[in-house]
Amino acid sequence: MKIDPPFEKALLLNRYKRFLADIRLDNGDELTIHCPNTGSMKNCWAPETLCWFSRSNDPKRKLPGTLEITTTPDGFLTGVNTQRPNKLVREAIENGTIVELQGYESIRPEVKYGDENSRIDLLLSRGDERCYVEVKNTTLGVGGGRVLFPDAVTTRGTKHLRELTSMVQQGHRAVLVFCVQHTGAESIGPADDIDPTYGITLREAMAAGVEILAYGCRLSPSEIVIDQRLPFNCL
């Protein structure tokens, strides 16, 4: 994903009320911008660390920019805009990077499905075949190259696992893709200490046949690209 114009650099001063972040520009000006992340962003940032943000030219917007990339306390980069992973995964399917999801004739985003009023992130089709793809942005680094999901209790994420399991039981293919926007990631797994219910439901989904994929990203102010498969395991 090319970023044009490139993200602008700033210092991240604070993230608060979930959707707000205060930043300081190189000229000393301070701005409040939108933080597009409903999670805790645990271990994703620290005060006075570098961040990058995009600007909006929409006069109807109350806030002039959007937080995109943060620096972790141990110096890695994380992509915190949760609106980007679906597009990143679609791009990686279309350019052949995600080899496990090749061979389909069409890709449709945000299709209604399931029994719990859900929308699947990407629906892949080939003739009568259907592959339901759910995407999760993954940024919780806990040291030693280990990155976990979720970073906060996610009843919505647990619901999605139930929906994917139901699709497998109906004879379809279902895949959960962890889009890992953390440059220090070496392996991925569930954050059982944060949301044990999610961890249990994830293991049940895997046992039922839901496939798990984890892919890491290369992050820069001018480009975000899925570039490598990462191992997933439930330790």
pLDDT in tens, 51-77: 999 998 888 889 999 999 999 999 999
pLDDT band of 235, cuts 50, 70, 90 = confident
Same domain, 53 and 130: no
Quote the domain boundaries for residue 100.
85-229
Percent of the chain's residues with pLDDT above 90:
97
Residue at token pair 């569930």? 190
pLDDT for 60 equals 86
Tell me, yes or no, whether 3 lies in a domain: no
Residues 93 and 207 reside in one and the same domain? yes
User: Same domain, yes or no, for 35 and 68?
Assistant: yes
Contacts 24+ apart (CB under 8 A), 94-102: 97/215, 97/226, 97/227, 98/177, 98/213, 98/215, 98/226, 100/175, 100/211, 100/213, 101/131, 101/133, 101/175, 101/213
Q: What's 61's domain CATH number?
A: 2.40.50.580
Quote the pLDDT of residue 59.
85
What is the pLDDT, as a whole number, of residue 58?
Answer: 85
Q: Is residue 78 over pLDDT 90?
A: yes
For the stretch 157-204, pLDDT in tens is 999 999 999 999 999 999 999 999 999 999 999 999 999 999 999 999
- CA dist 131 and 62 (Å) reads 39
Last residue of a domain, one of 75, 104, 130: 75
Q: Are residues 64 and 152 in the same domain?
A: no
Give the global pTM.
0.96
Domain boundary, last residue among 43, 75, 107: 75
User: What is the number of domains present in the chain?
Assistant: 2
